């Protein structure tokens, strides 16, 4: 094995060990999770052997930064496990669900901004699938949306 390859595998193994510890796994627990021997996990982390694509994909699914493990540079757009769940759920929604979720997120974002004095209330209607009420409501108010029940 060339010296360059040996050095690369050694560095990859060290980064793998760092990422494993970061998500709270031991060598044994990660080996058990992937149905490999503890010795194989040790070989990966020591740089004696290289992990295969299936193993690396599994690491990605656990939330590890595989780009970092392979290159030594942090992923340009890291995404957390929670963000993956939100994105997957969002993609499964229909048009109405997406519009409702986007309206809710916009409302949360606006509620976290500093309160601006003399802000006017607005109602924004986006076609047939989304309505949004924004502004500072200082008194109890009723907003009727939709049509009367038959």
User: Please, which pLDDT band fits residue 133 given cuts at 50, 70 and 90?
Assistant: low
State if pTM tops 0.85: no
User: Please, which pLDDT band fits residue 140 given cuts at 50, 70 and 90?
Assistant: low
In CATH terms, 3-71 corresponds, of 3.20.20.70, 3.40.605.10, 3.90.180.10, 1.10.260.40, to 1.10.260.40
Structure tokens at 73: 């540079």
Q: In this predicted structure, what is the pLDDT of residue 54? A: 94
**What ranges do the domains of the chain cover?**
3-71, 93-134
Q: In this predicted structure, what is the pLDDT of residue 4? A: 92
Supply the Cα-derived Rg of the chain in whole angstroms. Answer: 25
Q: Is the pLDDT confidence value at 78 over 60? A: yes
Q: In this predicted structure, what is the pLDDT of residue 119? A: 56
């Amino acid at each position: 094995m060339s010296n360059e390859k040996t050095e690369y595998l050694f560095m990859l193994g060290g980064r793998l060990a760092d990422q494993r510890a970061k998500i709270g796994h031991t060598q044994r627990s990660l080996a058990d999770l992937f149905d490999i021997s503890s010795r194989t996990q040790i070989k990966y982390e020591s740089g004696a052997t290289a992990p295969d694509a299936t193993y690396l994909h599994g690491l990605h699914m656990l939330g590890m930064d595989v780009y970092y493990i392979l290159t030594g540079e942090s992923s340009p757009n890291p995404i957390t496990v929670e963000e993956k769940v939100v994105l997957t759920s969002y993609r499964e929604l229909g048009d109405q669900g997406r519009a409702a979720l986007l309206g809710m997120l916009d409302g949360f974002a606006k509620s976290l901004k500093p309160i601006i004095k003399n802000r006017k209330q607005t109602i924004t209607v986006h076609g047939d699938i989304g309505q949004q009420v924004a502004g500072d409501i200082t008194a109890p108010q009723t907003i009727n949306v939709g049509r009367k029940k038959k």
